[in-house]
Amino acid sequence: MLTLFIVTVSAYVLGMLAALFSGRSAIGRGLVAAGAAVGSIAGLALGVVVITSGIPFALASTRFLPLTGVALRLDGMGAFFLVVVGLVGCAASIYGFGYSAQYAGRYSLRTLGVMLNLLLLTLTFQVMADNALTFLVLWEAMSLTAYWLVVTEHDQRGTVRAGVWYLAMTHAGFAALIAMFLLLSSTDLTTSFASMRAGSALLSPAARNAVFLLALFGFGAKSGIIPLHVWLPMAHPVAPSHVSAILSGVVIKMGIYGLLRILLDIMGGGPAWWGGVVLGAGAVSALLGVLYALMEHDLKRLLAYHSVENIGIILMGMGAGLIFHSYGLMTLAALGFISGLYHTINHASFKGLLFLGAGSVLHATRTRNMEEMGGLIKIMPWTALFFLVGAAAISALPPLNGFASEWLVFQSLLGGSNIPTPEVAIVMPIAVGMLALTSGLAAACFVKAFGITFLAIPRSPEAEHAHESPRPMLAGMALLALACIALGLAPFVVVPALGRVLVGLGGLPDTHAVFSFNLYLVTPSNFAIMSPTLVALGLLAVLGLVPLVMLLFRANWRLRVGDSWGCGRVGQTPRMEYTATAFAEPLRRVFAELYRPTKELSIDFHPDSKYFVQSIEYRSEITPWFEKALYGPLLWFIRLSAATVRRMQSGSVHMYLVYVTVALLILLLIARWS
Amino acid sequence: MEADIAIIVRQIDERARRLFGRSLHIREVDAGSCNGCELEISALANPYYDMERFGLHFVASPRHADCLLVTGPVTRNMAEPLRRTYEATPNPKIVIAIGDCANTCGVFKDSYAVVGGVDQVIPVNVFVPGCPPEPVDILQGILSAINRLPAK
Amino acid sequence: MSGYFLEIGQALVALALAPGLVGFVRWWKARLQGRRGAPPLLPYYDLRKLFLKEVIISNNASWLFRFTPYLVFSSTLAVTLLIPLVAAPLPFDRIGDLLLVVYLLLLGTFFLALAGLDPGTAFGGMGASREMTVAAIAEPTIALSIFGLALGAGSTNLGRIVEQTLAHPGAAISPGHLLGFAALFIVMLAETGRLPVDNPSTHLELTMIHEAMTLEYSGRYLALIEWAAGLRLLIFFSLLVNMFTPWGVATSLTPAALGLAVIVLISKLAALGLLVALLETRIAKLRLFRVPELLAVSFVLALLAVTSSFLLR
């Protein structure tokens, strides 16, 4: 294990050095990517070793980093998140080798390479942090490196603004986290997690509730729970695509890691209302995330809103787990947490894949706007295939990984029938309904995303002259596509591993033998049984049989290519195709109460006659509720306070001398009376 | 159905006749008619004539169709769409031209706006004359095309 | 071993019955409208004819267009292996439960919608958009109905649900069951494209939902998609009759029980088909933007079903 750790760290450091000294050339980019990829793979291997062996990896840092208060320890849960880091990091780095070629000469490849490796390095250490100080320092380092990566393309519209929002939100969360750790560790930030675990039982209920709320705020700001999500659709689209994959796939999962670590591990669970709040926040995030995603036609913004949705689904699993835990239903609680963790790694793989795919499309067509794409499936067949795998996975279609984890989340919510108090139990069916609606809407959204982007005819010259992605980019996408398929076909391997990861946290029993055997997934008391592997085999078998039977019965095999049937019209232009806005229009109408679309219509009539129209301009936007109702007043208030305080900065030396004198007098008075 | 009013113009492939014996999907194409023939054709679907009991069925797209039912003198604007409709219909297929206009342009013969009869644009299998032909005659024309008429 | 033969036999029975069911409903509708109507076996002739016709593909379409009919047909056929048509429990019952059935059907809808967008026609896009809207809004009702049934039966696996209702006949008239049946009935109308959600025999593209996506298909592809649509109707009908009124479903694998099960299935399907035909003749098609209201009604019914199951336990 120690060798793997050293390989990981040195690979990242070498990657950073390569970026510093030869970032611009192709070899330099290759070394950067290689460093990041090797580091990721080694980290992934380390995580797998820790999970399968069950032995935590502790680094006696007091020997070579004495007095710094740094403590590092990798237990099962940290190892799982390290696997997530490694998986997405490896694919994104390989992809980045091809993708960053377009930045040569325009933006600083040095910064990009250094920050990429540094981000992955801080993520690796983050999941190993064993005391509050280490955790917080690494958290801040992770946020800052992510910020630098987000503003890589600094002269594009909206990038710097997105970076500022990102920085502000992450620091607001950071403040909450500092307060939380101060409460947990009774103001000594170098107490290890182990002693915090022991001490948490002694905290007063008010303090525990405060910790819960601060943790939810702080980690929620990082994960993008509604209403703390506003930075996500701004920051993730403007970042370079392989960075977007890491941000959406890994960095926001650190919020989940933090919540699990604090709520389950250190605090050992809490009253049922904690789980209820988490479940509610998750359900609302999931539903609102997908509803806003439906209305987007910027491909990467759509994917960013889907990240909000999937974080919501993960939190629904975790919330259910917390509720069951508070009632002592330990097996069901383990099921809830396992479903949340499974969805974590699944989302990392399919969202990473989708962002890499979107990056390939952006690379080929120079636009993120879906309304200008089309017909790319014939020009970029491999990219289209990988994107289709990601789209099918995120829509929870069997037999891919999205279905396996959503099935588990459903089953854990269905276990709500075992909750003794009916008032709490009734929350579960409502959550089931919301999850089902989310899942259906996600499928609709990805029919739109894949269909408008890749199918039919190109809608703009840029789309016509697109090209297939270079091979490193295809390799990165292929890796994640394979991960999606593997995670979907082998849940009976993943679920016991997750069961082992959760052993002992918050008193959860060892469930690695309970939830799966042979090829099947089983839920407690045989409530449900399912096998995605056999489903996949069955589907393939039937798929293969159907053409054979048709051949046997001598069906007509002739095929002719002609024009699309358009009621006999002569010629077809891209203007005749369906657009993304049109595709989402029925849903826009159905949910009009939420979207409150505004409408602007201006018609230019011919100067001579009102019966002839020269031009019509139609503009419709959905009302951004959270920005208007929540952040608008907040920002107004901050500006108002800042303006008030600024009046103190009068510029006059006399006033400043008065301030100094008054402050001195007050200090003397305080010293006199204490 | 006393007189054999339908005129077979082009022999229909025996295989097609056997294929469509029980189930024929029809796409109706109006190549510039006055809609008189259309009214008679749509009368075929009402409970009195009920063409569905013979397995005849109107479809929404020529891709689903086996038979094109063309009416009207082919106007200049409809010549190309008619050709495209014919191309869009999968083989084997039958074309039935309904009405005098479809046969010889009827009262619009030699007009500046028409191209000619339907057989100037696409190959026709059966003509059903009349202005407009009665629904019974149209039905007889279609059934004779698929060899469903009772033997005389 | 005999169980696996039974599974294959059940799929073959489903394949054989599906076009007949579609034809039967159509025949009853015609009779109720005062017409002689197309013969009930007409869909079989349609399918035979379509398999023998050539296929024309748009030059804008991609491999997805050619692959989709096979995928839609296979996923729908795979579902027939999982549901209790003639016997319960089945050997494959452990492979998938009701949630898997729902998502396998969603797999077919997803790819069919993509295939509607592929040729680049406006009708295909419109059909795809409407189909996904209806499918998405019907999902919560289905999920809640599953919850309600699973509460009663203690499992989401279909065999267990059927067994449980057979063992406790009184549960069939409990409020939870009746409300759940009503909710699932409305969802069935939406998912299979029957009135009042979608008119299966319309020629007006602006009123189409399902048919608009298949306007570009011809020949053997169209045959596969039509057959899959028939199978979908059969699946939903069978779920409704066999989960809520499962008497007649064979619990042992004797030829007598299986024969009786097939006969009872056919009669139950005929009865439900008659009910649907009656409904379709009496009700006009809903405006598209009223369909979510109808589905919201079904959601409320399902929520009431679950609540009453909770309270009356």
pLDDT tens, residue by residue, C134-143: 999 999 999 9
Among the partner residues B63, B81, B90, nearest to A568 by beta-carbon distance: B81
**Tokens matching residue A674:** 């204490």
Average pLDDT value for chain A: 89
Answer whether C103 sits within 8 Å of A397, measured CB to CB.
Answer: yes
Confidence of residue A63 (pLDDT cuts 50, 70, 90): low
* Stretch A527-535: mean pLDDT: 82
CB-neighbour burial class of residue C54 (10 A; exposed 0-12, middle 13-18, buried 19+) = middle
* A559, closest residue in chain B (CA to CA): B90
Identify the closest residue of chain A to C61 by CA–CA distance: A456
Q: How confident is the model at residue A62, as a pLDDT?
A: 56
What's the average model confidence in pLDDT over B66-88?
93
Say if the Cβ atoms of B84 and A560 lie within 8 Å: no
For B88, which of A558, A562, A570 is closest by C-beta distance? A562
Nearest CA-CA distance, residue C181 and chain B, Å: 34
Please name the residues in contact with A453: beta carbons below 8 A apart, sequence gap of 6 or more: A299, A361, A370, A373, A374, A376, A387
d(Cα A497, Cα A505) in Å, to the nearest integer?
14
| DSSP tag of C83 | S
Asked if B87 and A565 come within 8 Å (Cβ–Cβ), the reply is no
Distance of alpha carbon A593 from alpha carbon A579, whole angstroms: 23
Q: For residue A563, which residues of chain B lie inside 8 Å, CB to CB?
A: 84, 87-88
What pLDDT is stored for residue A23 in this prediction?
A: 65
**pLDDT of amino acid A622:** 85
Query: Strands B126-128 and B7-8, how do they pair?
Result: antiparallel
Q: Does B80 sit within 8 Å of A568, measured CB to CB?
A: yes
CA distance C121 to chain B (A): 13
Q: What is residue A537's predicted lDDT score, i.e. its pLDDT?
A: 87
Q: Which residues of B touch C219 (CB under 8 A)?
A: 90
Q: Give the distance from residue A395's alpha carbon to the nearest chain C alpha carbon, in angstroms.
A: 9
- pLDDT at position A669, please? 94
- Residue C15, pLDDT > 80, answer yes
- Who's near A334: CB < 8 A, 6+ residues apart? A321, A499, A502, A508, A509, A511, A514, A515
pTM over 0.80: yes
Q: For residue A565, give the nearest of B63, B78, B82 by CB distance.
A: B63
* Dist. CA A494–CA A508, nearest whole Å: 18
**Interface test mutation site (partner C, options A423, A438, A489, A583, max chain C beta carbons within 10 A):** A583
CB pairs under 8 A between A and B: 24
Q: Which residues of chain B make contact with A572, given a CB cutoff of 8 A?
A: none
Element (H, E) at A604: strand A598-605
- The answer, yes or no, to whether residue A636 has pLDDT greater than 80, is yes
| Contact between B60 and C202 using a beta-carbon 8 Å cutoff | yes
User: Nearest CA to CA, how far is A101 from chain C (Å)?
Assistant: 30
* DSSP 8-state class, residue C84: -
Cβ neighbours of C69 in A, within 8 Å? none
Place of tokens 């297929």: B93
Contact yes or no for C220 and A555 at CB 8 A: yes
Measure the CA–CA gap between C186 and C194, rounded to whole angstroms. Answer: 10
> What is the C-alpha to C-alpha distance for residues C214 and A103, in angstroms, rounded to an integer?
44
Return mean pLDDT, chain C: 90
Contact C42 B63 (CB under 8 A): no
Question: Cβ of C42 and B55 within 8 Å?
Answer: yes
Q: What is the mean pLDDT of residues A266-277?
A: 88
Q: Searching chain A, which residue's CA lies closest to the CA of residue B84?
A: A568
Quick check: C75 pLDDT over 70?
A: yes
A424-433 pLDDT tens trace:
888 888 999 9
Classify B24 as helix, strand or coil: strand
Beta carbons within 10 angstroms of residue C312's beta carbon: 10
A563 to B61: CB separation less than 8 angstroms, yes or no: no
Selected for mutation to probe chain C from A578, A585, A593 (highest C CB count within 10 Å) is: A578
Chain C residues near any Cβ of chain B (below 8 Å): 30, 33-39, 42, 45-46, 49, 52-56, 202-205, 208, 211, 215-219, 222
**Do residues A71 and A61 make contact, with C-beta atoms less than 8 angstroms apart?**
yes
CA distance C135 to chain A (A): 7
Q: What is the pLDDT of residues C173-197, one digit of tens each?
A: 888 889 999 999 999 999 999 988 9
pLDDT at C128: 94
Q: Please determine, for residue B3, whether its predicted confidence score (pLDDT) is greater than 60.
A: no
Of A634, A595, A603, A666, residue with least CA distance to A296? A595
* Cis, peptide link before residue A399, omega less than 30° from 0: yes
Taking the C-alpha atoms of residue C294 and residue C290, their distance in angstroms, rounded to an integer, is 7
Region A326-333: what's the mean pLDDT?
88
Taking residues A323-340, report their average pLDDT: 90
Of the listed ranges A482-496, C107-121, C222-236, the one predicted with least confidence: A482-496
Which of C30, C55, C203 is facing B58, going by the closest CB pair?
C203
Of A558, A560, A563, the CB nearest to B84: A563
Of A57-66, A77-86, C92-101, C289-298, the poorest mean pLDDT is in A57-66
Q: Using pLDDT thresholds of 50, 70 and 90, give the confidence band for residue B4.
A: low
**CA nearest C307 in A: which residue?**
A426
CA distances from C126 to A578, A586, C66, C121 (A): 7, 10, 20, 9
Q: What is the ipTM of this complex?
A: 0.95
What digits encode the pLDDT tens for the residues A178-227? Answer: 999 988 887 676 778 888 888 888 888 888 899 999 999 999 999 999 88
- Is the Cβ pair B60, C203 closer than 8 Å? yes
| Residues of C in Cβ contact (< 8 Å) with B64 | 215, 217-218, 222
Nearest to B61 among C36, C215, C219 (CB): C215
Q: What's the half-sphere exposure (Cβ side, CA atoms, 13 Å) at A365?
A: 30
pLDDT score of B2: 43
| Closest-approach residue (CA) in chain A for C308 | A426
What number of residues does chain C have? 313
Record: contact A568-B87, CB cut-off 8 A: no
Model confidence at A455, in pLDDT bands (50, 70, 90)? very high
Interface test with A, best of C48, C57, C60, C207 (most A CBs within 10 A): C60
The domains of chain A are located at 2-488
Pairing of strands A72-74, B114-116: unpaired
Among C53, C58, C207, C224, the strongest candidate for a mutation testing the B interface, having the largest count of B CBs within 10 A, is C53
